[in-house]
Amino acid sequence: MDHAVKQPLLEVNKLSAFFRAGRGEVQVTRDVSFTMAPGEMVGLVGESGCGKTVTGLALMGLLPPASSRLEGKILLQGQDLIAMPPSAKRRLRGRRISMIFQEPMSALDPVFTIGHQISETLRAHQDVSRAEARNRAIEALARVGIPEPTLRYDAYPHQLSGGMRQRAMIAIALVCEPQLLIADEPTTALDVTVQAQIVDVLGELCTRMGMAMLFITHDLGLVSQTCSRLVTMYAGEVVEEGRVDDILLRPRHPYSSGLLRSLPALTQRKARLPAIPGRVPVRGDMPPGCRFQPRCAHAQPPCTAPQPLRAVQPQGEVRCCRAEELILPGVLPVERAA
Amino acid sequence: MTAQQPLVATRDLGVHFRLSRNTVLKAVDRVSFDVLPGETFGIIGESGSGKTTLGRALVCLEAPSAGQVLHQGRDPYALSRRQLRQHRRNYQVVFQDPNAALDPRMTILRSVREPLDVAATMPRAQRDEVAMQAMERVGLSPDFAARYPHELSGGQKQRVCIARVLTLRPSVIVCDEAVAALDVSIQADILNLLADLQREFGLTYIFITHNLGVVGHISDRVAVMYLGRLVEMGETEAVLARPLHPYTDALLSAEPVALPSHMRTSQRVILSGELPSPVSPPSGCRFRTRCRFAQDLCAAKEPEWSEVEPGHWAACHFAGTLPVTSSPVHGVAEVVA
Ligand SMILES: Nc1ncnc2c1ncn2[C@@H]1O[C@H](COP(=O)(O)OP(=O)(O)O)[C@@H](O)[C@H]1O
Ligand SMILES: Nc1ncnc2c1ncn2[C@@H]1O[C@H](COP(=O)(O)OP(=O)(O)O)[C@@H](O)[C@H]1O
Ligand code: SF4
Ligand code: SF4
Ligand SMILES: [Mg+2]
Ligand SMILES: [Mg+2]
């Protein structure tokens, strides 16, 4: 509720992404819609191949223009990013929206020192002197928890550990204090101990700078620790949106429930884990109607009709015609969640 | 427990890599433990702590530089070469990345059959039959036989890798991050399969993972490794619910658990810094550079590996007296019950 009162920072409206394939094209995401308030932390989850990264790259304007196409609207404070000319979009990137990735080497340039890369990012967007850029870069390194930032300013990416590289990438992404950070599995390759450090740094920076974050991950534990709202994607579509605490206790979509129930920590030791049978459908083999239907234990005849994403009471949105009648388990058994 | 002969054991095992003339990296350093028949023994620790090297040493893919690996009480390296080859079939590994284990140009049937082809102890028709049975057992229908790895999902490829090792009828399987690359729903499937196979074939697993939820779910006992050494070992419930070593405590506390905000109780211990270089580990207790309880004694003297409670071992000068605070990773199911 509270996010609806503020004017949204980001409004994604029926966003679809297409890639060229041979003579035709394939659609990889369909009608993705969600909003983010300023300073809000939103988790984007789903199995691999569901379209999370494509959605993040679309928001950043980083999908290859020659081989991809977007439909729908991406409004950043009311301004349509899809309709915007490429030069204006470039100016926006890094300054108002930034993105970090699972593999920091893809975002770091191996031939420049990390300090140089941070200063240059800053100078590309702001009119600051070299000396000031250097100072701000050192500050940024300190903020992300890199020890001895003055010394590390001159380090090359390959001289850093995986965790330190991840911090350096975050420093670059955040040096211009963007309004929105898209974090695509930023800790998936790291140990839990280092993950905890990075997530802490991200959370603290978001709070301090009032920055919003779209946290893309397959780890529901991590979402519950960092985000207040959750968007679940399945086979290229958003299937559920709502408050994290609500969804953990009472998911409204069978897929969200299935993802939560398959976490091993939630099942008695050694007992059978409730897995979701089958796999994410591939393109060309999309079931008509509800895309989750072949794997859904609750499927009924009406599910073969196309399912719109619709608001449910008391809040949230679900793409399932049975959302009201189903009582689905989340992290607790149904009786305990009541 | 002591009455049973361990199926796999190590005695002061060391695996050392010589990096240059005067630097030696002790990836595994003076490690001793027993794995009992039919047990699932979990090994956890940050990357670089030596888990993979230890796992490889357990199945004779890495020769000990010091100490011993024992299989049913016997030193496999005392066997003749021929006997060793035969013997090794009993000790198999499944790795994290099925792509690295499968030849993209081989059909699935050939990949599954390959270990039997190498062993060359059965006629071809029988090898095909055993391979098809193994595929069926892991839930791959016969029409997968003629397919190629690129046509399969990650979970299906991992099933192929499991079928492959099953053809040899091993008694021990080391699973080195075998479910780490899979989505949770698929991971659950594979963990169920491994549990079924264990019951059916009386398998013993050594389960290496960095995922505490996974290790807590499937292991009977767990060992915690830090910079080549064991720092804690015991029954899974005991280690996860009442850790004795500050490192175990920090690992548990870092694990994100899916719980709504009002149900999170434990305060988190965020471990500072990263794993020090294993080439020159800190003096005394190796964990002391990151330990919030470190004292002068910890730098001066290496803590002993001692049985603090029955069956629950730790290497910390102050084990059992520290106010460790664990989080309920091992089973929200139990904690909220
Ligand atoms: N450049 C591309 N060309 C064609 N298809 C692509 C491209 N990038 C991604 N896809 C497809 O889009 C779908 C969604 O991928 P992705 O967004 O990476 O999923 P996720 O991040 O959720 O794992 C996948 O089926 C993937 O194969
Ligand atoms: N063949 C090798 N040569 C030299 N060093 C190695 C070799 N294999 C592993 N190491 C080193 O041994 C240590 C332990 O590695 P590993 O067993 O892979 O740990 P883990 O599986 O816990 O991540 C690391 O520092 C690694 O770099
Ligand atoms: S619409 Fe039907 S098939 Fe789809 S998730 Fe809902 S109940 Fe399951
Ligand atoms: S011996 Fe000292 S440094 Fe090592 S874990 Fe125990 S308290 Fe910490
Ligand atoms: Mg992705
Ligand atoms: Mg390893």
What confidence score (pLDDT) does residue B274 get? 83
Ligand 4 atom at shortest distance from the alpha carbon of B288: 3
Of B37, B154, B45, B13, whose CA–CA distance to A280 is shortest? B154
Pairwise pLDDT comparison (B275 vs A305), residue with the higher score: A305
Q: For the segment B193-226, what is each residue's pLDDT rounded down to a tens digit?
A: 999 999 999 999 999 998 889 999 999 999 999 9
Q: Are A74 and A80 in contact (CB under 8 A)?
A: yes
Q: For the segment B283-333, what is each residue's pLDDT rounded down to a tens digit?
A: 999 999 999 999 999 999 999 999 999 999 999 999 989 887 655 544 444
Pairwise pLDDT comparison (A3 vs A272), residue with the higher score: A272
Of B161, B164, B153, whose CA–CA distance to B177 is shortest? B161
C-alpha distances in Å from residue A223, one per residue of A64, A213, A260, B261: 29, 11, 12, 11
The domain locations on chain A are: 10-227, 233-263+274-337
pLDDT band at B337 (very low <50, low <70, confident <90, very high): very low
Ligand 1 atom at shortest distance from the alpha carbon of A55: 17
pLDDT over 90 (residue A302): yes
pLDDT over 70 (residue B177): yes
Closest residue to A221, CB basis, from B188, B256, B331: B256
Distance from CA of B81 to the nearest CA of A (A): 39
B40 to chain A: closest CA residue: A270
Residues on chain B touching A227 (C-beta within 8 angstroms): none
Helix (H) or strand (E) holding B216, with range, is helix B212-218
Interface of A with B in 199-238 (CB under 8 A): 199-200, 218-225
The domain locations on chain B are: 244-337
pLDDT over 70 (residue A5): no
Q: For the segment B137-148, what is each residue's pLDDT rounded down to a tens digit?
A: 999 999 999 999
Ligand 4 residue neighbourhood (C-beta within 6 Å): B 245-246, 285, 287-288, 291, 293-294, 298, 303, 316-318
Q: For the segment B82-94, what is each residue's pLDDT rounded down to a tens digit?
A: 899 889 999 999 9
How far apart CA A134 and CA A116 sit, in angstroms, is 8
Q: For the segment A150-183, what is each residue's pLDDT rounded down to a tens digit?
A: 999 999 999 998 889 999 999 999 999 999 999 9
Q: For the segment A114-147, what is each residue's pLDDT rounded down to a tens digit?
A: 999 999 999 999 999 999 999 999 999 998 888 8
What confidence score (pLDDT) does residue A189 get? 82
Q: Are A328 and A296 in contact (CB under 8 A)?
A: no
How far apart CA B200 and CA B194 sit, in angstroms, is 10
What confidence score (pLDDT) does residue B272 get? 83
What confidence score (pLDDT) does residue A265 get? 85
Provide the CATH number for the domain formed by A10-227 in this structure.
3.40.50.300
Residues above pLDDT 90, as percent of chain B: 75
Which of A26-35, A274-283, B99-108 has the lowest average pLDDT?
Answer: A274-283
How far apart CA A95 and CA A81 sit, in angstroms, is 14
The ipTM of this complex is: 0.88
Interface of B with A in 219-238 (CB under 8 A): 236-237
What confidence score (pLDDT) does residue B326 get? 57
How far apart CA B139 and CA B133 sit, in angstroms, is 10
Helix (H) or strand (E) holding A172, with range, is helix A162-174
What confidence score (pLDDT) does residue B333 get? 47
Residues on chain A touching B153 (C-beta within 8 angstroms): 279
Closest residue to B331, CB basis, from A193, A200, A269: A269
Averaged pLDDT score across all residues of chain A: 92
pLDDT band at B266 (very low <50, low <70, confident <90, very high): low
Helix (H) or strand (E) holding A24, with range, is strand A24-36
Q: What is the pTM of this model?
A: 0.92
Which residue carries 């000396």 as its tokens? A131
pLDDT over 50 (residue B241): yes
B216–A195 C-beta distance less than 8 A: no
Q: Kindly report the CA angle at B96 between B93 and B101, in degrees rounded to 5? A: 65
What confidence score (pLDDT) does residue B1 get? 47
* Structure tokens, A204: 């603290």
Question: How much is the average pLDDT of A60-76?
Answer: 95
What confidence score (pLDDT) does residue A103 get? 86
Q: Are B133 and B112 in contact (CB under 8 A)?
A: no
